[in-house]
Amino acid sequence: MRKSVPLLGAFLLAGAAAALECAEAARSRTKEATDQTQLDDLVVANRILSDQGVVDGFGHVSARHEADATRFLLARSMAPGLVTADDIMEFDLDGSALDPRGRTLYVERFIHSEIYKAHPEIKAIVHSHSPSIIPFGTTSVPLRPIYHMSSFLGAGVPIFEIREAGGLATDMLIRDPELGAALARRLGKSAVVLMRGHGDVVVGSNIQNVVWRAYYTEINARMLAQAIAIGGGPIMYLSAEEAVLTDASMQRVEARPWQLWKQKALGR
Ligand SMILES: [Zn+2]
């Protein structure tokens, strides 16, 4: 009888260890599944943005790593429309690849690293040369929301002037952390920052959200240019209140166009 107490203790300890192991294995399986889902969504985001004409041979989309906020996922240097899961790499917030294996990196990866560093709430980023937005970065006409799908523009769309951060003689690219940090500061709390003579950066709370925003930024710019061309008096933009309320309701339906764009982009 006296021996049964240590025996029982050992039995309970073994049972607890087995339970811990099971929980650990389950956690690891969940993490793997989460990682895979994020990776798959990032591939789809690349394909959608290309299919919808937001990016062409250039431009990129990244996501902050769901399991480690100090890392982000971004493809190797290539056309977004051709990206597969094998092309996605992990980066730290200095813009260094963790396992480069000789692969070429996007020169402008510092857009992503510095914005993630400066803005912890941002989880996904698109950089593009989205054609209709370019005129709004080079003129004094502000890019403002003219319909509900682009209500996130109501937070204001600043213009990044690279001459202020890099002087008169740059090649317009964000090719170092200092330029990336200056761009992140100019972005502030907005969803979009225009880059004069170059393109834009769009940020979001997740991959679907940033794809929505990048797409509707392009559409809004196109339609605003049409409204300006039509003339006929002042343009009625969404008010600040309309923009805030509409942005909240639109975020609830982001999955709908994502499903449609995904099917078109993947050809199934
Ligand atoms: Zn660029």
**Model confidence, pTM:** 0.88
Residues contacting 179, CB < 8 A, separation 6+: 110, 162, 165, 166, 170
C-alpha 111 to ligand 1 mean position (Å): 9
Residue 232: the pLDDT is 82
Neighbours of 53 (CB within 10 A): 13
Active site residue 241: no
C-alpha 35 to ligand 1 mean position (Å): 27
Residue 19: the pLDDT is 65
Torsion 174-180-182-183 (CA) sign? positive
Q: What is the dihedral of CA 170, 156, 139, 199, to 10 degrees?
A: 40
Which residue spans within the chain are E strands per DSSP? 60-64, 71-75, 88-92, 124-128, 159-160, 192-195, 199-204
Task: Report the percentage of the chain scoring pLDDT > 90.
Answer: 85
C-alpha 108 to ligand 1 mean position (Å): 7
Q: Active site residue: 108, 114, 218, 254, which one? A: 108
Beta bridge partners of 194: 159, 200
Q: How confident is the model at residue 242 (pLDDT cuts 50, 70, 90)?
A: very high
C-alpha 60 to ligand 1 mean position (Å): 8
C-alpha 83 to ligand 1 mean position (Å): 17
Residue 30: the pLDDT is 60
pLDDT tens, residue by residue, 156-213:
999 999 999 999 999 999 999 999 999 999 999 999 999 999 999 999 999 999 999 9
Q: How confident is the model at residue 1 (pLDDT cuts 50, 70, 90)?
A: very low
103 DSSP assignment: P
pLDDT tens, residue by residue, 20-61:
676 677 656 666 766 899 999 999 999 999 999 999 999 999
In Å, how far are 89, 111, 171, 234 from 135, measured between CA atoms?
33, 21, 19, 19
